[in-house]
A and B are shown apart, each in its own frame.
Chain A
Amino acid sequence: MRNKLANLGNGAHALAMQILGNADDAQDAVQDAFERVLRQPESYQPAKGTLKSWFLTIVRNGCIDQLRGRRTTEHQVERLLDAAPPPEQVAMNTERDSGVRAALAELPNEQRQILVLRDYLDLSYNELASVMDIPKGTVMSRLHRARLALKKGLENYDC
């Protein structure tokens, strides 16, 4: 299980960064999720879904919990969830992906999440619905809107 979880670390970190907008907080969130999972590995029930979607759900909920734990009001939490990540995320690593990261950073938090979960982490629609706690019937439309928004953003950055 440790090996499988370690392989999910990068993807989970990418997701956490989209939610928290900060690499260090994202790292803490993933580490917390690891500790939580390893403390009670028996809480994973394969019949209910894949290890990947289960772990990402824990990471995502942990991130949102972390936002709430900052003693912010509901309004502030919503604002944080909608806020674009800071420049450190946008200016990360290679130049090749800078357009993708910049365009992604301009999207609302929920659109960033659904795009990363599907296109970066390759979750199925069922898994997406489970991780994001949304009806399966709305996954395709939300994802489509997010892709259109990203496409539009990419056009701006590619020019």
Chain B
Amino acid sequence: MTVEHRGIDDHVGELLSGLVDGELTQQVRQRVELHCESCEQCAEDLQALRQVRERLGKAALSNTRTEQWRETMNDTHTSGVRTAGWLIFIGGLLLAGGAFLLVFLSETSVSIFEKVVFLAIYGGLGLLLYSVLRQRLIERKTDRYKDVEI
């Protein structure tokens, strides 16, 4: 088989990366290896690609530690406590709001017009809160990672 050198940028060059990664079929691997035996340039290119792979593989690309990630994962309990905190806070707020509303509506010194205005303001706020919460719930139910495309 005569395989002339076609340079690192062509089809053979691409196969060199496949050879470096051990991703070629046996037949193709043998063909590329044979070619490299007879082609000095490709042999050099192969060596260079191996060096690039080795250098990158050994480089320190992250300054974090495994223990740090273990601690981070354990810290997810904090998010549970945070959620519980929010629930208690919102629950208390609703109870206080309800009690205040009851007292306010039963107050005879306040005119009906004032009561209606008050209800409109807080009713509107309540609807806004509901829409935000609903949106958040929908987002949580939907897999937001699924549809992300690069």
Chain A interface residues (CB < 8 Å from chain B): 2-3, 5-11, 13-14, 17-18, 23, 27, 30-31, 34-36, 38, 57-58, 61-62, 64-65, 68, 81, 92-94, 96-97, 100-101, 104, 110, 115-116, 118-120, 122, 124-125, 132-133, 140-141, 143-144, 147-148, 150-151, 154
Check B14 for interface membership: any CB of A closer than 8 A.
yes
Given A23-B63, A119-B57, A144 contacting B16 (CB threshold 8 A): yes
Query: Quick one: CB contact mask for B39-67 with A, threshold 8 Å, 1 for yes?
Result: 00000000011001101111111111111
Q: Please, which residues of chain B bring their CB within 8 A of the CB of A115? A: 56
Given A6-B70, A64-B150, A81-B150, A144 contacting B17 (CB threshold 8 A): yes
Given A17-B61, A68-B148, A143-B17, A100 contacting B55 (CB threshold 8 A): yes
Chain B interface residues (CB < 8 Å from chain A): 8-9, 13-18, 21, 23, 48-49, 52-53, 55-70, 72-73, 76, 79, 144-146, 148-150
Give the 4 A-B CB pairs with smallest separation, nearest first: A9-B69, A14-B61, A144-B17, A61-B145
Given A81-B150, A125-B23, A9 contacting B57 (CB threshold 8 A): no
Main secondary structure of the interface of A (DSSP, over half): helix
Given A144-B13, A150-B56, A9 contacting B72 (CB threshold 8 A): yes
What are 14 inter-chain pairs, A to B, with CB distance below 8 A? A6-B73, A13-B62, A14-B61, A36-B145, A61-B145, A68-B148, A104-B56, A118-B21, A120-B59, A132-B150, A140-B14, A144-B16, A148-B13, A151-B48
Q: Please, which residues of chain A bring their CB within 8 A of the CB of B48? A: 151
Q: Please, which residues of chain A bring their CB within 8 A of the CB of B76? A: 34-35, 38
Q: Please, which residues of chain A bring their CB within 8 A of the CB of B9? A: 148
A151 near B61: Cβ-Cβ < 8 Å: no
A97 near B59: Cβ-Cβ < 8 Å: yes
Q: Please, which residues of chain B bring their CB within 8 A of the CB of A64? A: 148-150
A64 to B149 CA separation, bound complex (whole angstroms) = 8
Look across to chain A and name the residue whose beta carbon is closest to the beta carbon of B150: A64
New A-B pairs, 17, CB < 8 Å, besides A7-B66, A133-B150: A6-B73, A9-B66, A10-B69, A13-B62, A14-B61, A34-B73, A62-B145, A65-B148, A93-B60, A97-B60, A101-B61, A104-B56, A116-B56, A124-B23, A143-B21, A147-B49, A147-B52
CB < 8 Å neighbour of A6 from B49, B55, B69, B148:
B69
A119 near B56: Cβ-Cβ < 8 Å: yes
